[in-house]
Amino acid sequence: AQSVTQLDSQVPVFEEAPVELRCNYSSSVSVYLFWYVQYPNQGLQLLLKYLSGSTLVESINGFEAEFNKSQTSFHLRKPSVHISDTAEYFCAVYTSGTYKYIFGTGTRLKVLA
Amino acid sequence: EAGVAQSPRYKIIEKRQSVAFWCNPISGHATLYWYQQILGQGPKLLIQFQNNGVVDDSQLPKDRFSAERLKGVDSTLKIQPAKLEDSAVYLCASRAGTDSYEQYFGPGTRLTVT
Average of pLDDT values for A27-50?
A: 88
Average of pLDDT values for A16-35?
A: 91
Q: Using the beta-carbon criterion (under 8 Å), do A49 and B108 form an inter-chain contact? A: no
Quick check: A104 contacting B, CB < 8 Å? yes
Give buried/exposed letters for A9-38 (b at 16+ CB in 10 A, else e): eebebeeeeebebbbbbebeeebbbbbbbb
Q: What is the pLDDT of residue A43?
A: 87
Q: What is the chain B residue with the closest CA to A92?
A: B42
Q: Chain A residues with CB inside 8 Å of B40's CB?
A: 9, 105-106
Q: Chain B residues with CB inside 8 Å of A36's CB?
A: 105
Give me the percent of chain A exceeding a pLDDT of 90: 70
Decide which of A30 and B94 is more confident: B94
Q: Is residue B83's pLDDT more than 70?
A: yes
Q: What is the pLDDT of residue B1?
A: 65
What lies within 8 Å, CB to CB, of B91 at 6+ separation is A43, A44, B6, B34, B35, B36, B37, B43, B105, B106, B108
Question: pLDDT digits over A59-107, tens only?
Answer: 888 999 999 989 999 999 999 999 999 999 999 999 877 778 999 999 9
| Among the partner residues B4, B42, B107, nearest to A104 by beta-carbon distance | B42
